[in-house]
Amino acid sequence: MDCGVCGCSKFPPHLVKSALDEENYTLLLRPNADPVKGQMHKQMKANLVVAVASLLQATAVIGAFDGNLNYASPSRRHPSLGIDVPHVARRSLKRGSVAYRPEDLNFTHGVASGDPYSDSIILWTRVAPSLASDASNVTVEGPVPLYSHDTETYIKADPSPICVDWAVFPKGGVHGSTVVASGRAYTTSDIDYTVKVEAKGLKPFTTYNYQFTICGSKVKSPVGRTKTAPTAHDDIPEVKFAVFSCSNYPNGYFNAYGNAARKDNQDYFVHLGDYIYEGAAKGERAHNPPRLLFTLHDYRTRHGQYRTDPDLQLAHQNFAWITTWDDHEVSNNGYRDGSSGLNNTEDSFYKDGHGVSVDQRKMNAVRAYFEWLPIRQVDLDDNLRIWRSFRMGNLLDFIVLDTRNYDRNWNDHYIDLIRDDASRTLMGSHQENWFYNELSRSSKRGAAWRIIGNQIIFSRIYESYGLSGDNWSGYTANRNRTLKHLYDNKIGNNVFLAGDSHQNWVSDIVWLEEKEYNPETGDGSIGVEFAGTAVSSTGVNAPILPARVQAEYRVGNNSELQWQDGYYRGYIFLSVKQNSVQARFYGSPSVASRNSWDIPLANFTVRSGENKLARPVGGGSVESGALKGGKTTPTNLTLNTETGKWDVIGYDQMYIKSSREKRRAPSMASDKMEVEVAEKKLKDMDHSEQHYFNSYNHHGIHEEMLKDEVRTRSYMNAIVQNKHLFKDKVVLDVGCGTAILSMFAVKAGAKHVIGVDMSTIIFKAKEIVKVNGMEDKITLIQGKMEEIELPFPKVDIIISEWMGYFLLYESMLDTVLYARDKYLEKDGLIFPDKATIFVCGIEDGDYKDEKIGFWDNVYGFDYSPLKATALSEPLVDTVEIKAAVTDPASVITLDLYTCTTADLAFSIPFTLKCRRDDFVHALVAWFDIDFTACHKPIRFSTGPHTKYTHWKQTVFYLREVLTVQQEEEVACNIVVKPNDKNRRDLDIQIDYTLETEDDTRKAQGSCSYKMC
């Protein structure tokens, strides 16, 4: 009979008969009763047959559900951490359930295998009525314990499970071959129709074929190929890996996967993270769904999109994979409690998470990852544990780490201040202690090599901006503890693998400053590091020659770094033998199109017991990048992995062009070459210009401005609270500094932001933008606004913090007006768009005597010649509001939509009305700033009546003291113009007249000032 679930023959009649033995049910039905009741007895018998058959069905179905490991992900060991399989099974047996017909189903995403053990392997497929993932999030929603769905919504979710048989065959045989392992499993929309099973009873280090079949049909999956691992004690001469990381679907094609798969030289594929990206990039290979990922359905759909790539399918079909995740499987720059784009705060929850918390988002991402990847969950009590190890004979232990999501400390902002803290950890104490124990166990058991697969660069690499905070250099104590364990326990033959950086790096592993190290010989190191480039994610977005210049700087700036290349996308082929490890780096000359070209870049050898790269490093020559003590000899000799033929190949374009690149957007790389070019530009400027721009090179001035909450929050509110104005707009940030306004604009939904700044702080800004995951939205250009070419012909909005002391001293207003006239659309907006200077008279006798009167008697000497100088220089300082003697007068309002540079020189009369009887020692000036385009207009003031700002106020001391009475007026005129020699300095003249009936108090004067 059919099982009633999927149509397969499941329950032989003799089982039902045995279950309903006549003797057993006679006692219940009483056959000696009258005929009417006899008819009832027959009906009861029929019902009992159905009931018992259903019970048998349910038992068998539950067993088949258990065969699919994805029902146990992330955990079924505890009631609140697993899908309730009995509920799923009962739901499937409900009356009216209609099974999918086999012809309506497809193996939508091929097959895959992974996590090889010596006697078992994980097999994966997806069988579904369509490519699309089920839109329901019921497995992660609802006011119930995690994954415990005792709810009607859940029970009714998917009444039609799909039955799948699987079988493993000897290599080269499928149909008619001996089956060495087999089983049955069900899948439903609860787990996105995925199937993940463990094939057991296999032989070690053996290649097998495998296939899935829809139960009771001829609908079969593609034939897969896989390989088990050796036993821990096997004498294995060689194990080979292909190592990958960072595959960004919209950025380029996955040629590296296909090239390695077609060459067919490795035993296993290794992926070190960023298997998917959570972004919302557009273009030729636009992301699906077209938004940032937050929900379970989002992550499932993204995994499904990536698995449609033919090269990725080919690689999964033919090789067992060992994987770990990095940040983009969840969210950019992730750590234990959040990421650069979403943190555990109420503000971030609403503004960044769209109502999805950090933990919920991570749970969604983790569930999708385990559903779609052929990976074991080694500890069902720990649903975030992905760190694990593989013992491969007496040859090697492959140790896989999670330096990203498991228990990583804070990974955002002020890393330079805390990178050396002893508490800093990439892994958390549980994983970290496990790691050290694994290293020791591996050494003690006699494994020849320890291969450590982790996400991020282990070596200490100084960039032009200093040390990164996003790799092991941001967690110095953790790295030192690891090095100490290796050195103290004399654990050698260590090979660290890394991804994440999108570039190639090869280094000796050494505890610098603690252990002696000779860069020429490599003596003193404890191992090596092979950090690989990306499959398709952007590295150095520049032509190959400038990329080589950057590589030369990096190699020259870091003693342990032996080779570096940031141009090519590609992978590492790693051959591990008893006496040596060889790493061969391969590149794809372009990922802008799908192609089968594979170029050898460099080869490196590590000999057993030497714990360093063999000299001469790389054999003394490489294809690309920069090699310490060697030469770079480009040949462009490239292998076609489809035909097996070699040819000289070159491409002009590395990546799929984004809209930014089509407009000649410059590289976002912050490197020494760019800094040196910028510094040369500054040196060629006039001294006054040098002084001005150099003053913004140091982070200190930016720290002061960022900490000015009046200034920074006003800009933030004006931008972020007006998303309707910024959404899908192109924004220009004039004098972008550290790019804080640019990032506000991205948060407000800007389509793209161009930031321009002449000072070298912009190179730090590029790093800031990158670590905040906005490099695809923000283009930063170093240079003068008047001399550069923007990647967009017009912009919709200009934002700028252009104001200086007294509004106009060292301001950038003339540059903003230049940008307005050249780039702003006709109906474009300016933030802010209005500025007003105010002046009032103050009583400040004590401070005036201290600052000005001081020169009358300096240790008994007359220093009055300096008194005139002191009087001519306005004082930038804070003034208490109680010092104000007069009402404020509005001097000038500048409308940035209409004013011109000619308006920045002016002569304006104004009148000050006295509030009380007092003395006026000085005039004080400040300014107010308005953002009138906002839905709710925003204004901030720098005056003495409001909260402190870094602009403070500007005090102009008068030569004489005015004695005033309430209601009297002081008539003034102010003349302001840029200095003839330095346009950023100001020449200011203030004329004043006190008209009063008291001739003894009448006063008139003129004071000249110079702000420089």
How far apart CA 318 and CA 321 sit, in angstroms, is: 10
Domain that holds residue 712: 667-801
Last residue of a domain, one of 616, 648, 680: 648
- Catalytic position from the list 801, 850, 880, 967: 801
For residue 666 the two structure tokens come to 């410059």
Nearest alpha carbon to residue 927 among 850, 813, 797, 834: 834
- Quick check: is 775 catalytic? no
Give the pLDDT confidence score for residue 762 in this predicted structure.
87
pLDDT band at 358 (very low <50, low <70, confident <90, very high): confident
Last residue of a domain, one of 777, 801, 825: 801
How far apart CA 722 and CA 745 sit, in angstroms, is: 10
Q: What is the mean pLDDT of the chain?
A: 85
Q: Is the pLDDT of residue 176 over 80?
A: no
Please tell me the total number of residues recorded for the chain in this structure.
1012
The pLDDT tens digits for 804-852 are: 999 998 888 999 999 999 999 999 999 999 999 999 999 998 888 888 8
Nearest alpha carbon to residue 920 among 828, 837, 845, 827: 845
- Does residue 349 lie within any of the structural domains? no
How far apart CA 403 and CA 519 sit, in angstroms, is: 28
Query: pTM for the whole thing?
Result: 0.63
Q: Do residues 625 and 702 share a domain?
A: no
pLDDT band at 150 (very low <50, low <70, confident <90, very high): very low
Q: Do residues 631 and 683 share a domain?
A: no
Nearest alpha carbon to residue 455 among 398, 409, 483, 497: 497
Report the side by side order of strands in the sheet with 730-734: 778-782, 752-757, 730-734, 795-800, 824-831
Residues 6+ apart with CB under 8 A from 128: 105, 106, 108, 162, 192, 193
- 467 forms bridges with which residues in the sheet? 462
- Does residue 81 lie within any of the structural domains? no
- Does residue 676 lie within any of the structural domains? yes
- Flag the least confident range among 213-217, 347-351, 583-587: 347-351
Q: Do residues 516 and 639 share a domain?
A: yes
Residues 6+ apart with CB under 8 A from 676: none
Q: Do residues 563 and 706 share a domain?
A: no
Q: Is the pLDDT of residue 623 over 80?
A: yes
Q: Do residues 475 and 580 share a domain?
A: yes
Q: Do residues 677 and 643 share a domain?
A: no
How far apart CA 517 and CA 172 sit, in angstroms, is: 51
b vs e for 956-979, b when ≥16 Cβ sit within 10 Å of the residue's Cβ?
Answer: bbbeeebbbeeebbbebebebebe
Task: Determine which helix (DSSP H) or strand (DSSP E) holds 387, and give its type and residue range.
Answer: none
- Does residue 188 lie within any of the structural domains? no
DSSP assignment of 708-735, as one string? -HHHHHHHHHHHHTTHHHHTT-EEEEET
Last residue of a domain, one of 586, 614, 648: 648
- Does residue 73 lie within any of the structural domains? no
Is the separation of the CB atoms in 228 and 121 below 8 Å? yes
How far apart CA 604 and CA 642 sit, in angstroms, is: 26
- Flag the least confident range among 148-157, 669-678, 754-763, 869-878: 148-157
| CATH number of the domain to which 976 belongs | 2.70.160.11
For residue 852 the two structure tokens come to 């000005």
Q: Is the pLDDT of residue 981 over 50?
A: yes
Percent of the chain with pLDDT over 90: 63
- Does residue 790 lie within any of the structural domains? yes
For residue 175 the two structure tokens come to 């149909």
Q: Do residues 630 and 725 share a domain?
A: no
The pLDDT tens digits for 361-393 are: 888 899 999 999 999 988 877 778 999 999 999
Nearest alpha carbon to residue 390 among 203, 123, 120, 115: 115
CB burial of residue 88 (10 Å; 0-12, 13-18, 19+): buried
Nearest alpha carbon to residue 125 among 247, 210, 217: 210
Count of structural domains, the chain: 3
Q: Do residues 394 and 247 share a domain?
A: yes
Number of H helices, E strands in the chain: 25, 42
State mean pLDDT over 869-881. Answer: 91
- Catalytic position from the list 329, 438, 623, 810: 810
Q: Do residues 643 and 679 share a domain?
A: no
Give the pLDDT confidence score for residue 774 in this predicted structure.
92
- Flag the least confident range among 202-206, 764-768, 890-894: 764-768
DSSP 498: E
- 991 forms bridges with which residues in the sheet? 973, 1006
Is the separation of the CB atoms in 942 and 951 below 8 Å? yes
Q: Is the pLDDT of residue 754 over 70?
A: yes
Nearest alpha carbon to residue 140 among 297, 342, 337, 279: 297
Q: Do residues 790 and 842 share a domain?
A: no
Task: Give Cα 328 distance to the centre of its chain.
Answer: 6
| CATH number of the domain to which 735 belongs | 3.40.50.150
Give the pLDDT confidence score for residue 180 in this predicted structure.
96
For residue 846 the two structure tokens come to 């004590």
Termini Cα distance of the chain: 97
In Å, how far are 146, 292, 356 from 141, measured between CA atoms? 8, 19, 11
pLDDT band at 281 (very low <50, low <70, confident <90, very high): very high
Q: Is the pLDDT of residue 906 over 70?
A: yes
Residue that the structure tokens 């003129």 belong to:
1006
State mean pLDDT over 588-594. Answer: 96
Q: Do residues 730 and 843 share a domain?
A: no
Give the pLDDT confidence score for residue 833 in this predicted structure.
96
Q: Do residues 259 and 405 share a domain?
A: yes
- Does residue 724 lie within any of the structural domains? yes
- Does residue 194 lie within any of the structural domains? no
Give the pLDDT confidence score for residue 324 in this predicted structure.
97
Is the separation of the CB atoms in 449 and 443 below 8 Å? no
pLDDT band at 33 (very low <50, low <70, confident <90, very high): very low
Is the separation of the CB atoms in 808 and 746 below 8 Å? no
The pLDDT tens digits for 82-102 are: 566 666 665 555 545 567 889
| CATH number of the domain to which 535 belongs | 3.60.21.70
- Quick check: is 801 catalytic? yes
The pLDDT tens digits for 918-946 are: 999 999 999 999 999 999 989 999 999 99
Q: Is the pLDDT of residue 418 over 50?
A: yes
pLDDT band at 136 (very low <50, low <70, confident <90, very high): low
pLDDT band at 399 (very low <50, low <70, confident <90, very high): very high
Q: Is the pLDDT of residue 556 over 50?
A: yes
How far apart CA 331 and CA 274 sit, in angstroms, is: 10
Q: Is the pLDDT of residue 252 over 90?
A: yes
Number of neighbours of residue 416 by Cβ within 10 angstroms: 12
